[in-house]
């Protein structure tokens, strides 16, 4: 009996250790698996588009010279080293060696020269602006990129984005002038972690693993299937049933609770990419051409109430107009607390008394269909402004008409959710950009000091000075109010627990994020799942910031630690299990000890 109990105990230990080490190994990145990603809007093309959906797909197929880290720091891409040469007004890159295009042809410096001179500088949205008439010189294993205008404040970071993906010269050189209508844009070849493998329009797109990817061992997934479901009921059903594994845009706020209750799903509440919900104001349209009226409106708006009701308490109210991760909020920012009494006093002093009907004047608030939270907060704005004697008529338009009216300045106030990256701050508020198309300076806002500060930011190479310049811009905008910020936009990301990796949540540059470090796991890990409870505004802030910065960074660190430690797991497992098994056999052979007399 003693022998049986001893052996049984030792064998049980062997089994438990085997299960432990098998589980540990199963959690580590291995090649294999297919992830199904859903986009609520199907792209029309892949490379060369500023659209968010095209950017996500392009990130899987293409590389840029640099890449962005979890805190938006610059990291190597197709270039291993880089520097700014102010004397030449140029950027110098040392290119990575032994990189191949998906068709097996070697990547060379000629591809970089061709991309910037023939495609990026002519056809890309920001590329045509910031890299116009760029010249690229090849000097040994380095390329020297010389834009016509040397603007490091904007250009350096663009080297890590979809705006500067590198194209294969051997496939596009003969017909580069017709790039915009090229079949290449729907059947692309890149150097990125995944290869394009087919697109059934209206249904799905398939990408497969690039076995010759320059980042050795990656990607881990064998395949990415991208579906295009736009109906909320179908999308949610797909996530709940495990037919869709990942989605990062288009999750209704009201569905978050039920998704978090599903044990097979993880829900991330991310503030990347940085967007704000806001009111855009045509500052030339009376009475909004009076800055005191704009300030009165800012005081009359209850941002906390709007954020709570429009986003089910997920977002927090905000007033800063620039991405806080790149440009921290200025201590000199002019803030508007909710105070209808001050709003009434300002309007009275500005010469807008209430009429017999109780109203001072009427304004039109333009909103767009397909954005439920904007529709809701437009109604809340109407009700809140009514309390200070401003009558608001809401007009709801399809997106195309909404944009067209903005570009013709045929609006007074418009609801919007927009990207608050410094690049857009420049084109939204600089006088040079008035009336240049959608999402430019359609406020008709002009301030010579803002123009001067933004022009200085464009050419500044010192990061600290760039931040100071943009903070001063933010201070001025907070006083003149061409836009009134309401709340930060939170992007619910939903991921099936059969997948792990630091690339999620996406959103480092809009949604230009490769899934090269996402991997399939056979066992689900109960980590990083949010649970919505009744929260205070402070708790919402903490939760959102943690998902935005800390979680991504900790995932990267943890993955690095796991990779180091697991390299020894097979050896340790073998030694421990072998020792236990040997002890069991030795005990069995010796038999029972004699009893002492």
8-state DSSP, 326: T
Beta strands 275-281; 483-488: pairing state: antiparallel
User: Which two structure tokens, joined as six digits, stand for 443?
Assistant: 């406020």
Residue 461 has pLDDT above 80, yes or no: yes
Residue 537 has pLDDT above 70, yes or no: no
474-475-476-478 Cα dihedral, nearest 10 degrees: 80
Q: Which residue did the predictor score with more confidence, 504 or 597?
A: 504
Burial of 513-526, coded b for 16+ CB within 10 Å and e otherwise, reads bbbbbbbbbeeeee
Residue 551 has pLDDT above 80, yes or no: no
The stretch 77-97 carries a mean pLDDT of 97
Report how far residue 30's alpha carbon sits from residue 34's, in angstroms, rounded to the nearest whole number. Answer: 12
The stretch 434-459 carries a mean pLDDT of 94
Q: Which residue did the predictor score with more confidence, 253 or 576?
A: 253
Beta strands 361-368; 390-397: pairing state: parallel
pLDDT, position 436: 85
Cβ atoms of 39 and 46 closer than 8 Å: no
Residue 446 CA: distances (Å) to CA of 435, 443, 468, 482 = 12, 9, 21, 9
3-state secondary structure of 493: strand
Residue 2 CA: distances (Å) to CA of 6, 497, 592 = 6, 44, 7
First to last CA, the chain: 20
Beta strands 79-85; 275-281: pairing state: unpaired
Reference 161, options 90, 82, 246, 64; nearest CA is 64
Question: Tens digits of per-residue pLDDT, 258-287?
Answer: 999 999 999 999 999 999 999 999 999 999
3-state secondary structure of 450: helix
Residue 424 has pLDDT above 80, yes or no: yes
Report how far residue 359's alpha carbon sits from residue 389's, in angstroms, rounded to the nearest whole number. Answer: 4
How far is residue 373 CA from its own chain's centroid?
19
């Amino acid at each position: 009996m003693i022998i049986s109990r001893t052996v049984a105990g030792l064998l049980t230990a062997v089994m438990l250790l085997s299960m432990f080490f098998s589980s540990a190994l199963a959690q580590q990145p291995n090649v294999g698996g297919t992830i199904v990603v859903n986009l609520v809007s199907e792209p029309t093309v892949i490379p060369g588009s500023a659209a968010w959906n095209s950017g996500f797909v392009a990130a899987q197929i293409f590389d840029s010279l640099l890449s962005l880290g979890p805190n938006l720091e610059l990291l190597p891409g197709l270039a291993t080293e880089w520097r700014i040469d102010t004397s030449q007004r140029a950027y110098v890159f040392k290119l990575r060696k032994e990189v191949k295009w998906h068709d097996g042809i070697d990547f060379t410096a000629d591809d970089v020269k061709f991309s910037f001179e023939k495609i990026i500088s002519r056809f890309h949205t920001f590329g045509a602006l910031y890299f116009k008439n760029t010249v690229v010189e090849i000097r040994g294993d380095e390329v020297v990129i010389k834009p016509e205008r040397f603007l490091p404040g904007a250009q350096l970071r663009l080297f890590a984005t979809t705006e500067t993906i590198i194209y294969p010269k051997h496939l596009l050189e003969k017909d580069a002038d017709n790039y915009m209508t090229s079949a290449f844009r729907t059947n692309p070849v890149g150097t990125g972690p995944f290869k394009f493998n087919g697109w059934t329009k209206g249904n799905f797109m398939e990408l497969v693993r690039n076995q010759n990817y320059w980042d050795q061992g990656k990607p881990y997934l064998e395949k990415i299937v991208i579906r295009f479901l736009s109906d909320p009921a179908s999308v949610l059903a797909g996530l709940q049933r495990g037919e869709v594994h990942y989605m990062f845009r288009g999750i209704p706020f009201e569905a978050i609770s039920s998704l978090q209750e599903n044990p097979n799903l993880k829900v991330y509440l991310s503030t990347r990419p940085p967007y704000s919900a806001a009111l855009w104001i045509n500052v030339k349209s009376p009475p909004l051409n009076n800055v005191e009226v704009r300030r009165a409106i800012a005081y009359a708006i209850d941002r906390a109430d709007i954020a709570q009701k429009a986003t089910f308490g997920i977002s927090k109210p905000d007033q800063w107009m620039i991405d806080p991760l790149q440009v921290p909020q200025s201590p000199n920012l002019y803030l508007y607390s909710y105070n209808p009494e001050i709003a009434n006093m300002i309007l009275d002093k500005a010469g807008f008394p209430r009429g017999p009907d109780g109203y001072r004047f009427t304004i039109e608030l333009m909103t767009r269909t397909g954005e439920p939270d904007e529709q809701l907060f437009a109604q809340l704005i109407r009700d809140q402004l009514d309390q200070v004697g401003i009558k608001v008529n809401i007009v709801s338009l399809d997106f195309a008409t909404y944009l067209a009216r903005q570009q013709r300045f045929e609006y007074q106030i418009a609801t919007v959710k927009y990207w608050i990256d410094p690049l857009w701050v420049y084109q939204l508020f600089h006088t040079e950009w008035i009336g240049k198309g959608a999402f430019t300076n359609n406020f008709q806002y002009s301030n010579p000091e803002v123009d001067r500060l933004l022009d200085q930011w464009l050419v500044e190479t010192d990061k600290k000075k760039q931040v100071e310049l943009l903070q001063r811009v933010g201070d001025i905008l907070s006083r003149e109010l061409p836009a009134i910020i309401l709340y930060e936009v939170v992007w619910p990301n939903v991921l099936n627990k059969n997948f792990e990796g630091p690339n999620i949540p996406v959103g480092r540059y809009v949604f230009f994020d490769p899934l090269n470090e996402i991997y399939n796991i056979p066992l689900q890990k109960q980590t990083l799942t949010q649970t919505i409870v009744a929260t205070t505004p402070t708790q919402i802030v903490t939760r959102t910031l943690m998902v935005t910065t800390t979680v991504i960074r900790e995932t990267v660190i943890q993955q690095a630690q796991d990779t180091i430690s697991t390299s020894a797991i097979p050896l340790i497992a073998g030694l421990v299990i072998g020792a236990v098994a040997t002890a069991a056999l030795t005990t069995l052979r010796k038999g029972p000890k004699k009893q002492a007399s």
